[in-house]
Amino acid sequence: MPIDTHGLTEAHVGKRLSVALTDGDAIGIQLLELTVCDPPEPCCGITYRLLSAEKPKASRQVGEVYWTSFNEISNFEQDRCNE
**Sequential pLDDT tens for the chain (83 residues):** 577 888 999 999 999 999 999 999 999 999 999 988 876 667 889 999 999 998 877 778 999 999 999 989 999 998 876 55
Instruction: Say whether domain 10-82 belongs to CATH 2.30.30.100.
Output: yes
What does the alpha-carbon distance between residue 64 and residue 81 come to, in Å, rounded to a whole number? Answer: 21
Query: Pick from 18, 28, 15: which is nearest to 56 by CA?
Result: 28
The reply to whether the predicted model has a pTM over 0.95 is no
Query: What are the sequence ranges of the domains in the chain?
Result: 10-82
Using alpha carbons only, how large is the chain's radius of gyration in Å? 12
